[in-house]
Chains A and B, each alone.
Chain A
């Protein structure tokens, strides 16, 4: 009997790794060019390709790969260098992050981009710090990542900012007096954003009802009912995309009439697909609104459509996610830093990063004294349930 359960467990463990292994990722866009001789500078991509955040990590990587496809070379100190992307999967897992980071370090990268997911970013941070390699965070929004570090930069806004933006938006647009906040237990992103939203919303004189759900939960009907019974005006649910899809379905079937609000993770075609043809009202805050730069949109759509693996990684269609845009911009920020440093030495790049300014697709990027981007606006988008696309609502900012 003992043997039997042992063998069943082992088989389960193996199957799970097998399934995880089958997930596909695009091949590096720099195929063939990277191994050519001549000057090569390596940029590390520290992103999840499997695990909870695999989908988001892939979309972010996609932006970096597209940028690399558009601009495969960079001029450093008067010489032409070929940029080689070094993509490593941190498996969205804090205990795998240090070794994934060490892989990049021993490959001799000059600068690292990533990661999607604040937890893994913090977990990998010290390995890069020790090796003296600068990191540019793409969409990791937790304040703790850059705090007290001189090697970690980031080009996106922070959770306190995002939470405040959404609270203001709820107050301004819906005149909301009562908000229902649903966060995931054990997820630092979800509870962090929920915390800042609650703070800001209460400061505006609103009332907040808070609840948490367990990992692996797939039935949200009781939460939706309780939001209705509480008489909430908005439903705020910062969560991963998998949960979001379920939540949207169940909110629609239960006839939740109040608007659903969420953060940057919901800016994904998973949500659009779930919401299409249903009676739900979804608003998200994000980094970029499709149409903000038509030339870029057209270019990346063409690239995604021409590459089947890229398309699969983008969730099967060519909707441009805010994550992809941020990945694209991060790559160019890294190139600017390399140019300014005039060498591929990580320490020089780190030094140069402080003064880098770049006008990206998602807006102007420059760093403050902590290493965070100076950002004062977020885009609010609304899911159009008829066309299955995002509608631009407002550019919301806060007086900080």
Chain B
């Protein structure tokens, strides 16, 4: 397929998706679970892709994602809470020290930039480490950031242990889709550029890459900073989705959730991370919730083992099965593309025809 037709197909698909979402919003009530899942799924897709950029494409095993999301979320919230409601939000700190607010898009970008700056600083020493040691160092960084943000002495800025709320949020499901879509698009462009090829070279063999003239330290730093930037943006989106944020929710278990999405989707596959994210969120928050219902009947048979919490057992078993028997994840390291789908159907079609005894194709 030619490059232009491919581009047209892609644009058409994205437009169709957005129109579908728009139509759905007109039809279904806004509190429907579908929208909850779609919103959160889009946000997690962005952070999963940003983690994939680091883990899957550059081969840097980092576990600092929750920390960078925290930075983005707090920056967003601190900068956008309307001045008039600051007194009630910062109730223990006399309204806080930040007495202005900036427009939402700027605040989202600022969130990304703060995360990126921190990533740059932490990257200077930490990126000299490899594999496990890097993972442990970044995990520690995320925990430290969380503790610092809860610190009372920083209360006038971060509101200490208390919630931040009342900042502008989005209502339409299109908002997170468009923002996350743009960000993921940028990451895809980056991966397909010379930088992206350099990242992959580093992942495959550092020494060979260095011999080819790739500046290792520079490229690793670049990947780390860019990944953190997008994690920061998705943190801001998460804050908007949740309407309130608190440092204590950005635990390491949040990083593990994102890591699970990346693994389920396929390490090194952008579309895999997106699909994985929607599936993961839908399963954990929506589809399996009926298992918590203790009044479930099949005919007259009362399923007595169903009780609140049972869904988590089932969910864990599903994840275990995926990791054990489907180790490459949904997509492996391939990407979803129109071409692949066409090829798939053409193959099927051809086979069918030959089975029917016809050699009459085209």
Contact = CB atoms under 8 A, between A and B. Distances in A.
Contacts of A9: 63, 256, 259
Given A21-B311, A50-B309, A185-B147, A144 B253 contact: no
B241 A98 contact: yes
Interface string B332-350: 0000000000000000000
B147 A214 contact: yes
Contact of A192 (B152, B162, B309): B162
B315 interface: yes
A99 B285 contact: yes
Contacts of B182: none
B315 A17 contact: yes
A99 B309 contact: no
Nearest to A4: B132
Interface stretch (B111-119, B184-192, B222-230, B290-298): B290-298
A1 B133 CA distance: 10
B202 interface: no
Q: What's the interface size class on A, roughly?
A: 35 or more
Interface stretch (B31-39, B74-82, B354-362): B31-39
A148 interface: yes
Contacts of B169: 126
B101 interface: no
Q: Which of A35, A97, A99, A148 has the most CB of B within 10 A?
A: A99
Contacts of A119: 163, 244, 246
Given A25-B307, A123-B243, A2 B61 contact: yes
A28 B295 contact: yes
Interface string A156-199: 00000000000000000000000000011111101110010000
Given A49-B309, A99-B36, A106-B32, A188 B242 contact: no
A209 interface: no
Contacts, number: 178
Interface of B is mostly: helix
A104 to B, nearest CB: 10
Contacts of A187: 161, 248
Interface stretch (B8-16, B120-128, B316-324): B316-324
B36 A131 contact: no
5 contacts: A13-B259, A21-B312, A22-B309, A190-B161, A215-B248
Interface of A: 1-2, 5-7, 9-10, 12-14, 16-18, 20-28, 30-32, 34-35, 49-50, 87-89, 93-99, 102-103, 105-106, 119, 122-123, 125-127, 130-131, 143-144, 147-148, 183-188, 190-192, 195, 212, 214-215, 309
Given A24-B309, A131-B31, 20 more contacts: A6-B263, A10-B260, A12-B256, A13-B259, A21-B311, A22-B313, A25-B307, A35-B297, A50-B312, A98-B242, A98-B243, A103-B286, A106-B32, A119-B246, A148-B88, A183-B161, A187-B161, A187-B248, A195-B92, A215-B248
